[in-house]
Chain A
Amino acid sequence: MTTATIPPATTRRRQRFNSAYLYVAPSLLLIGVFIAEPILRSGWMSLHDWTVGEDTHAWVGLGNYTELFGDERFRNALGVTGLYTVVVTAGQVLGGLALALWLRRTTWLTALLRSAFFFPTVASFAVVGVVWKFLLDPQVGLINGWLGEVGVTGPSWLADTGLALPTVMAVGIWKGVGFSMIVLLAALQGVPVPLMEAATLDGANRWQRLRAVTLPEIRPALLFTTVISTVTSLQLFDLVYVMTGGGPLFHTESIVTYLYQRGFVEFRLGYASAIAWVLFLLILAVSLIQLRIARSDDDQ
């Protein structure tokens, strides 16, 4: 009722300030201060010899990066992380796909089994790591206890240089397979029933239906869970930190474990920032390649 009395000047001012900005301001401020600016600053720091406690931070250009590529320990971490990522992503996606296909229909039994396979996803890496560390313990662990029952002396899984990484990988797959299963189950519910019926009528057997109908229909979800698995595997840290601490003899040291060591134990922040940026570029490159492969398949 007062709008008629508002002078034109006020309306102009109201146009100039749009209250919509107030809604995005808090989030934008936080993203700016705690994400956007730190990204740029970490790039800047990676070009310096930036050690905590020293007064000056000398400009070294790409020095940290060139040092990094000659660094045996970093190359080892790259190899460990790469191997872990390939094996764990394949295990999670293929395992998740198998489970999703198998538990596709909803009955009380499949609902129960789905919950069981999904449950490790809910637990923290800290809990999971601590439990597995002692489950695999040569003296008190259940695994070697059971092996002992059948007359086999179990190895010390996490102290053996050949076994430590495969063991951590197995735990990684166990932890994440339920996630892929859930994403793929959701996608499977979206496969049109008439399409499947038509394929069945045309005489396609199970295997043919899977290859010709189901897999193409759930492609976006397969791609999504592959990218997510890859990106999270490349950032492997918690599990290694808790289970092995990177050992034995660096055999499970991942990129982020090494970053933590250089950055937060030795406080060489410039060098650690360079590691972070290499990781960032690696993640970017791998995701782009995966998306690219997916797209070129579409063109065929």
Chain B
Amino acid sequence: MTSETLARVEAPAWLPGTLKIFKNIIRYASWGVLILAAAATVLPFVWMIGVSLRTPADLYADPARLWPGEWSVAGFHAVLTQLPFARLAFNTFVFAGGTTILLVFLDSLAGYALARLKFRGRQAIFIVILATLMVPFQVTIIPVFLTLFDLGWLNTFQGLIIPRATSALGIFMLRQFFRTLPAELDDAAHIDGANSFQIYWRIVLPLAKPALASLFVIQFMALWNDFLWPLVVSSTLDMRTLPSALTLFSSQSGVDHAALMAGAAISLAPLAVAFLVAQRFFVQGIATTGLK
């Protein structure tokens, strides 16, 4: 349509070719910028690994260097001896793993009932669960802290795990997924004599594996990385999780940089490996629930 108006102005013969070259230059340059940006994005993690393997003298001598001039595993050795690192890793695994397993189980039970069973008050219960999603965690943390104190659960695993063992978001996500499964499956199983738990366990759960895996992965990640909750519930070093212990360690005076970065690298490692192996579930889980 615009060609008629443009045709009146005669373009010089060299123009199209030159424009094309310019366009290509811009295209390649912007890809170059994008690749540089991506490299800059992961640079802090590369630097973290680099520093964890350097000696203090090497680091102070040339902070502009990304990679060790002189290699050393002293940092890893230091963090493993200065902190009860095995214990912290164990705590984090028990907290994140135990909570996630319980949470996925309880959320799938509730989600199943809300999606596929008929009972009075179903809609009301669903709305109450959704409403709790609106409330920021900080509002509940003080009363929960007092409840845990009354129960004698502060600084214990049950105190860390039980209050977090269900999530409104997980119930919502699984309910939505379970509703997409055809109702005929339940009817057929009913006729074959299966009860509602057998239908849940043998039919619905196996079909929901991808959704369960996504929920598992993002919840495990969120709990592994969780900071404020374990910080408030645990009070002694032997009950801390990696993120809060790492932070306390970093604020000590005269801290050894290599040890600190080694600690950071070790706390990140399980998630980094999980991310590389199961990226699909991270992406799906985050895209569907908005949890980060």
How many residue pairs bridge A and B at CB < 8 Å? 253
* Per-position binary interface string of chain B over residues 123-140, scored 1 when its CB falls under 8 Å from any chain A CB and 0 otherwise: 001001100101111111
| Distance, CA A287 to CA B136, complexed state (A) | 12
Closest to B30 in A: A102
What chain B residues lie within 8 Å of A133 (beta carbons)? Answer: 250
Q: Does A149 contact B (CB under 8 A)?
A: yes
Q: Which of A124-178 contact B (CB under 8 A)?
A: 124-135, 139-142, 144-146, 148-149, 174, 176, 178
Closest to B232 in A: A264
| Distance, CA A293 to CA B280, complexed state (A) | 33
Closest to A110 in B: B34
Closest to A40 in B: B143
| Distance, CA A287 to CA B35, complexed state (A) | 35
Q: How many residues of A contact B (CB 8 A)?
A: 90
Would you call A123 and B139 a contact (CB within 8 A)?
A: no
Would you call A39 and B140 a contact (CB within 8 A)?
A: yes
| Distance, CA A21 to CA B118, complexed state (A) | 10
* Per-position binary interface string of chain B over residues 228-256, scored 1 when its CB falls under 8 Å from any chain A CB and 0 otherwise: 10001000000000111011001100000
Would you call B139 and A124 a contact (CB within 8 A)?
A: no
Central interface residue in B37, B60, B138, B251, by most chain A CB within 10 Å = B138
Q: Does A41 contact B (CB under 8 A)?
A: yes
Q: Which of A238, A276, A287 contacts B139 (CB 8 A)?
A: A276
For the residues of A in contact with B, the DSSP-based class is helix
Would you call A102 and B34 a contact (CB within 8 A)?
A: yes
Q: Which of A45, A132, A176, A245 contacts B142 (CB 8 A)?
A: A45
Would you call B268 and A127 a contact (CB within 8 A)?
A: yes
Distance in Å from the Cβ of B210 to the closest Cβ of chain A?
Answer: 15
Answer whether A130 and B114 are a contact pair too, CB < 8 Å, given A30-B163, A124-B224, A235-B136.
no
What chain A residues lie within 8 Å of B120 (beta carbons)? Answer: 18
Would you call B60 and A242 a contact (CB within 8 A)?
A: no
Mark the stretch among A4-12, A62-70, A277-285 that contacts chain B: A277-285
Distance in Å from the Cβ of A129 to the closest Cβ of chain B?
Answer: 7
Mark the stretch among A112-120, A191-199, A211-219 that contacts chain B: A112-120
Answer whether A142 and B47 are a contact pair too, CB < 8 Å, given A20-B118, A26-B166.
yes
Would you call B286 and A182 a contact (CB within 8 A)?
A: yes
B contact residues vs A (CB 8 Å cutoff): 1-2, 30, 34-35, 37-39, 41-45, 47-48, 51, 59-60, 62-66, 106-107, 109-110, 112-114, 117-120, 122, 125, 128-129, 132, 134-147, 162-166, 168, 171, 196-197, 200, 221, 224-228, 232, 242-244, 246-247, 250-251, 257, 260-261, 264, 267-268, 271-272, 275, 279, 282-283, 286-287, 290, 292
A contact residues vs B (CB 8 Å cutoff): 18-21, 23-24, 26-28, 30-31, 33-39, 41-42, 45, 102, 112-113, 115-135, 139-142, 144-146, 148-149, 174, 176, 178-179, 182-183, 185-186, 203, 224-225, 228, 231-232, 234-235, 237-238, 241-242, 245, 256, 259-260, 263-264, 269, 272-273, 276-277, 279-280, 283-284, 287
4 additional A-B residue pairs with CB within 8 Å, beyond A115-B279, A149-B64: A18-B119, A119-B272, A127-B267, A134-B260
